[in-house]
Chain A
Amino acid sequence: MSNKIFKNKSVMIVTIVTIILIIIIGLTSRQREEMNILETWAGNAASPFQRVVNTGANIISEGASSIFSFTHLKKENIELEKEVESLQEELIKARLNRDELEELRGLKFALNYIEEEDDFEPIVANIVGKSPSNWFDIFTIDVGENKGIKKDSVVLASNGLVGRVYEAGENWAKVIAIIDNNSSVSFQILRDRTFQGILSGSITNELTGYLFDPMAEVVVGDKLITSGLGIYPHGIIIGEVIEVAMSSDQLLKTVKVEPYVNFKRLNKVLVMAPQIIRNE
């Protein structure tokens, strides 16, 4: 008899906790302005440990991969030398452009134009942990509100766009990668800025998206940059088109994009404070 009561009691506790959890899920499913105390506290406590272990793990995996990739190094070296040559040519062109720009800026000042200043101050952050879930691409970084990072700060790597800050704690923050299913980025094609569209993530490391204009001329190998719509500032490189197709109803042109950032081997990122929209 007492056993039966005990059994019912535990069933009841589990049911009550289930209902409470469902309520919590419902409450927290929307984007919140601030983290609650529990989250901040837990993150503050865990992130130093994660940082130590992650640094160790990265050193080990880098060491292991460098041993296996020894044969590739020579090939890579030749490729890099070629790239340096082409970059130097570009640098000369860029210098010429810069001189022109200086002149134009001078003219602008003379004509009393209001200067738009991009006062982004990038902060270097380490990735301390990645979400254990296989469905979402979320990771945590080791800087937070103490360095002025807020919700919707833009996260970059040296070679492209990484994602945005979802929530910031005191010395840590959650970042959603652009390859996450729920993330979307508005892009334009570097070659021609009139061709714009929207990219979203998938369960693999590729991005899929569509162009607003179904007649847009996109070819495999086109480079994509952010278009400045939404929270990402204009002109950050995203990746390269690897596949172009028409959707099944022939109304949309869809593209598959490979991001330049290797999300599996990402250790250090740059974080920039969010764009402030000034109403004047």
Chain B
Amino acid sequence: MKTSIIGLIIFINFILHSTLFQHIELKNVVPNTSLILVVCFAINSKKDKGAIIGFIIGLIQDVIFEKVIGLNALAYMLIGYIIGTTNRNIFKDNPIIPFVFTALATVFYYGISLLVIYLLGYSLEYFNILRFMLPFEIIYNSIISVFVYIYVSKIFKSIKNRY
């Protein structure tokens, strides 16, 4: 039951992220809803689930869109796992939590992806990306994550109450 709901959300997010959300970009930045979902699921679920969900979301995204396969899967899996290991010690009802975690996760995602891309020898404007895109995306992602988090934790709570 729970798995099928999560799977459905992942699938819908993937479709929307590549189509509808491309229209709401600001300053060349599209909010990374996949990352937000990984963070919100990882906070709410048990520790290993976060890593698995991150891995699946990342792999789907890599296979269909990216030139290099495994990059997003790696980043999302590590994010899911790290958040999963810390989530016993935090208050889950506070809306600051998803905000802070998403901000940190965005920084982490940028760090690890840009490092791998750099090591693979792709030419990117690393300096401009860090200067113009990163601060904006942190804020954009974090604000959206608060709303997504409220909805996701509702789903998890209702499932818990039912059983």
Contacts and interface: CB of A to CB of B under 8 A. Distances in A.
Interface of A: 10, 14, 17-18, 21-22, 24-26, 28-29, 38-39, 42-43, 46, 49-50, 53-54, 56-57, 61, 128-136, 138, 140, 166, 174, 176, 181-182, 200, 202-205, 264
B63 A38 contact: yes
Nearest to B29: A134
A222 to B, nearest CB: 24
What bracket does the count of chain B residues touching chain A fall in? 35 or more
A275 B95 CA distance: 56
Contacts, number: 130
Question: Which of A132, A166, A264: most chain B CB closer than 10 A?
Answer: A132
B20 A57 contact: yes
Contacts of A42: 60, 63-64
Given A14-B77, A57-B20, A133 B125 contact: no
A28 B69 contact: yes
A98 B13 CA distance: 53
Contact of B15 (A17, A50, A204): A50
Given A14-B81, A174-B65, A202-B125, A53 B70 contact: no
A203 B74 contact: no
16 contacts: A18-B74, A29-B67, A39-B64, A46-B15, A50-B19, A53-B16, A53-B20, A132-B61, A132-B65, A134-B133, A136-B67, A138-B65, A140-B65, A182-B122, A182-B124, A203-B129
Contacts of A166: 67
A10 B74 contact: no
Interface stretch (B47-55, B97-105, B145-153, B154-162): B47-55
Given A46-B64, A130-B22, A182-B122, 8 more contacts: A14-B77, A14-B78, A18-B77, A56-B20, A132-B34, A132-B61, A140-B65, A205-B28
Nearest 9 CB-CB pairs, A to B? A129-B18, A24-B70, A131-B65, A54-B19, A21-B70, A25-B70, A57-B20, A28-B69, A21-B74
Contacts of B77: 14, 17-18, 21
A134 B28 contact: yes
A21 B73 contact: yes
Given A138-B65, A140-B65, A29 B60 contact: no
Contacts of B28: 134, 203-205
Interface string B117-149: 100101111001100110001000000000000
B14 interface: yes
A56 B19 CA distance: 9
Question: Which of B28, B51, B123: most chain A CB closer than 10 A?
Answer: B28
B15 A203 contact: no
B18 A131 contact: yes
Question: Which of A18, A182, A203, A205: most chain B CB closer than 10 A?
Answer: A203
Interface string B22-36: 110100111011100
A28 B68 contact: yes
B87 to A, nearest CB: 14
A135 B18 contact: no
Given A50-B15, A54-B19, A61-B23, A22 B74 contact: yes
Contacts of A29: 67-68, 120
B65 A133 contact: yes
Nearest to A131: B65
Nearest to B136: A134
B158 to A, nearest CB: 27
Given A10-B48, A138-B66, A132 B17 contact: yes
